[in-house]
Chain A
Amino acid sequence: MPGGAAPVNLISTPLNWLAGAAGLTRTVRVGVTGLSRAGKTAFLTSMAAALLARPAPRFALAPLGAGDIPRFDHPGHLAALAADPPRWPERTDSVSLLALTATIDQSPLPARRLRLEFLDYPGEWLLDLPLLRQDFAAWSAATLQRLRAPELAPQTGEFLGFLAGLPGRAPADEALAAAGTRLYRAMLQRLRQGGMAFLQPGRHLMPAPGAEPPWVEFFPYAGGAPLGGLLARRYAAYVDAVRRDLASPLFADVDRLVVLADVLSALHGGAAAFADTKAALGAAAAALRWRFSWTEALAALTELRLPPRVIERVAFVATKADHVAERQRGNLAALMKALAEPGGASTGTAHFAAASVRCTEDFVWTLEGRPVSAVRGRVLGQSVLTRSYPGEVPDQPPDASFWEHPFLALPEFEPMRLPDGGRGGVPNIGMEAITRFLLGDVL
């Protein structure tokens, strides 16, 4: 459903009326998820700026009361983008919450109050969610199988060599566990620099603030006890922490979901990086409950619990769409659709190619005597324009012939100047369509 035609909701509209009639505030929680560096913070900043700039309904930043989750620093991020020279928002290293409220006129019925909640958190942590459904042995086997791919040997050789050197019944030695964790972390960093995305556990790449507890020190290991037992216990404690700190408070009550992915960078990364991104996206989507399951509902009812909530709408968004010309953005949305839902689109999902903070303008570039649609913008820290034609974006997962030609790296363009210092919204591509799809029924 590219373009974002919002499905008609026969439940939401009467709910809005009832909420208005009863003078209640309806809260809609939007989870913004995405792989690392997909641009979640910029997306949230842009969406909040667009909502705050709407003439009707008028939104305002909501007070967070005495809640546990820190406030998303919207003014700070907006100021960074609006600064001259501009800066991209800092990498997210912890969970934060952005809440907006609005009073929506629905005359002749009483006006209703709406509260929108958006969650931001480190993208690295998203891939911790699939761990909830795996034990240590299964996770280790799957991870090691991926790491043993021949094309990853330059990055993984050191860690796999360490594993190969461990004896069959390695002792549960603290020094061994620490050394293995250190090597595994260094390997994850190298893989990330190489464009890989399916990197677990997330806190190895983006540690939580504060001192690290001992259970963070583990790595995939297929050997048995005693070292395997120690690592398995630490893995179980890690999974408990993910369930306690991330899954239950943040994802249990999400009504709408945005899944962001930097598909263009994955195309640049090559066949292995692209396949890895596809696998990561699939694992993350599978870990989030956005399809109604009769088995889960029946299981809950037999335990005298309410069935788990189902996410009503999911938007899969290929970000940084301003790095390719408009002519190619349709292909980018189609590619996102093929990656996110290989079995075909399902009800309540839509696919977009968007740029939450626009950095470039389109222009026609004559290359080798032929005009091509390209983009140009200023790279951060430079005062001259850079022209970019990174290559053609396929509308399906590319075959082997695609990788024979390079898809160039995306330059780090600086954001366009923000009108009114960002108070008039952030220049973007496609954000209105995403907002309409996600929130059209409640606005």
Chain B
Amino acid sequence: MSGTRPTLQRAPAPRIETEDLPAPRLEALPDLPDPQPKAAMGMPALVGSGVAVLVLGLSGLETSNFVADEFARGPLLGWTALGVATTGFGLVFAGFWREARALGALQAVDKLRADLSGPNAGRRVRAARAWVRDLPEAATLLPAIDAINDPDAVLALLRAGPAAALREQAELLGRAAAVQAVAGLAAMPSPGLAALFIAWRGLRLVRQVAALHGLRPGLFGTVALLRRTALSAGAVAGAEIAANAAAHAVLSNPLLQHLAGEMAGAGVAARRMVVLARAADAACSPLPPG
């Protein structure tokens, strides 16, 4: 030890200095998006996929064995069996392909809606452009979107323009379905058939509205669409008064009024068709609720 005590170091004197080289404007570090958790397959999907693989795989194996046997018996029988099997499986796979495309289209709507309602302004504008690109009004709307370049204003423009037109057409379909529901109920001989008729008409209405939006759902696509429609029904429930008014307008025909007055539930069925059309429109539209 030298005998000298260590002294506390003083903090350096404050200072401000300018660097020599030019530097770009500072930027905040971008917030990286959270990785999307991959949705695991649920139990029904797992079981359904397994059954489909078993049915298709085993029947495919069985069919190929059968075709091979037929070729062993004779070329004509073999080629005929191969043709039948190819046509049959081709049709089945074409059906699957159509279902997959329809489900893909529905998921694309979900993704567009998520992008349009998300916080990323650039992504919102890009999603708006992507949706508008397939619409008949694209030629006029795309330059307008480029000029506005403000997501909120773009959404307002889309709500007031193409979305309003689609909603109006969906309501027309809903009113037509309401008229048919009231008239059809009058013709049904039993309550069971009446319920079946209303269910069928409702399903058809949902598919009609989906077609309006460019969607062609198959069996699974329709189930998925019905689920979305049920979810979006809550969002349009606030339009109950408007639905009542529309149903009243539908029932303005004296004959239909008489029928609706005579039959319990006819008015309710008419109103449900109108609400269903709105819910289906909301489910098929990529625009988030305003």
Closest to B28 in A: A427
Closest to B12 in A: A367
B152 interface residue (CB < 8 Å to A): yes
A342 interface residue (CB < 8 Å to B): no
- A372 touches which one: B11, B18, B27 (CB < 8 A)? B11
A57 CA / B95 CA spacing, docked (Å):
41
Chain B residues with Cβ below 8 Å from A360 are 26
B117 interface residue (CB < 8 Å to A): yes
- B16 touches which one: A84, A372, A389, A420 (CB < 8 A)? A389
Among A55, A379, A385, A417, chain B packs the most CB atoms within 10 A around the CB of A385
A388 CA / B117 CA spacing, docked (Å):
41
Chain A residues with Cβ below 8 Å from B19 are 376, 384-387
Closest to B122 in A: A420
A54 interface residue (CB < 8 Å to B): yes
- Kindly identify, within residues 346 to 394 of chain A, every residue whose CB is under 8 Å from any CB belonging to chain B: 358-361, 367-368, 370, 372, 376-379, 382-392
Given the contacts A370-B9, A417-B28, A384 and B18 also touching, CB distance less than 8 Å:
yes
Closest to A359 in B: B26
CB 8 Å contact bits of B149-161 with A (1 = contact, 0 = none)? 0111000000000
Whether A423 pairs with B151 at a CB distance below 8 angstroms is: yes
Whether B12 pairs with A378 at a CB distance below 8 angstroms is: no
Chain A residues with Cβ below 8 Å from B13 are 367-368, 405
Whether B27 pairs with A420 at a CB distance below 8 angstroms is: no
Interface of B: prevailing SS: loop
- Kindly identify, within residues 406 to 443 of chain A, every residue whose CB is under 8 Å from any CB belonging to chain B: 406-408, 411, 414, 416-417, 419-421, 423-424, 427
B74 interface residue (CB < 8 Å to A): no
A60 interface residue (CB < 8 Å to B): yes
Chain A residues with Cβ below 8 Å from B18 are 379, 382, 384-387
Whether B16 pairs with A53 at a CB distance below 8 angstroms is: no
A58 interface residue (CB < 8 Å to B): yes
Given the contacts A417-B28, A421-B121, A427-B28, A408 and B22 also touching, CB distance less than 8 Å:
no
Whether B12 pairs with A424 at a CB distance below 8 angstroms is: no
Given the contacts A384-B20, A385-B19, A370 and B25 also touching, CB distance less than 8 Å:
no
B23 interface residue (CB < 8 Å to A): yes
* Shortest beta-carbon distance from A207 to chain B in Å: 34
- A367 touches which one: B15, B20, B22, B30 (CB < 8 A)? B15
Whether B118 pairs with A55 at a CB distance below 8 angstroms is: yes
B136 interface residue (CB < 8 Å to A): no
Chain A residues with Cβ below 8 Å from B20 are 384
- B119 touches which one: A53, A60, A391 (CB < 8 A)? A53
A359 CA / B26 CA spacing, docked (Å):
7
Whether A368 pairs with B30 at a CB distance below 8 angstroms is: no
A60 CA / B159 CA spacing, docked (Å):
15
Whether B16 pairs with A54 at a CB distance below 8 angstroms is: no
Whether A370 pairs with B14 at a CB distance below 8 angstroms is: no
B147 interface residue (CB < 8 Å to A): no
Whether B23 pairs with A378 at a CB distance below 8 angstroms is: yes
CB 8 Å contact bits of A83-121 with B (1 = contact, 0 = none)? 010100000000000000000000000000000000000
Chain B residues with Cβ below 8 Å from A392 are 11
Chain A residues with Cβ below 8 Å from B15 are 367, 389, 408
- A358 touches which one: B23, B25, B28, B150 (CB < 8 A)? B28
Closest to B123 in A: A420
* Shortest beta-carbon distance from B150 to chain A in Å: 8
List residues of A whose CB falls within 8 A of some B CB: 53-55, 58, 60-61, 84, 86, 358-361, 367-368, 370, 372, 376-379, 382-392, 405-408, 411, 414, 416-417, 419-421, 423-424, 427
14 example contacts (A-B, Cβ-Cβ < 8 A) are as follows: A54-B119, A60-B152, A61-B152, A368-B12, A383-B22, A384-B23, A385-B23, A387-B17, A389-B15, A408-B14, A416-B27, A417-B25, A419-B28, A420-B121
* Inter-chain pairs besides A389-B14, A390-B14, 11 sampled, C-beta below 8 Å: A54-B119, A359-B26, A387-B17, A387-B18, A389-B15, A405-B13, A407-B14, A416-B26, A421-B121, A423-B150, A424-B120
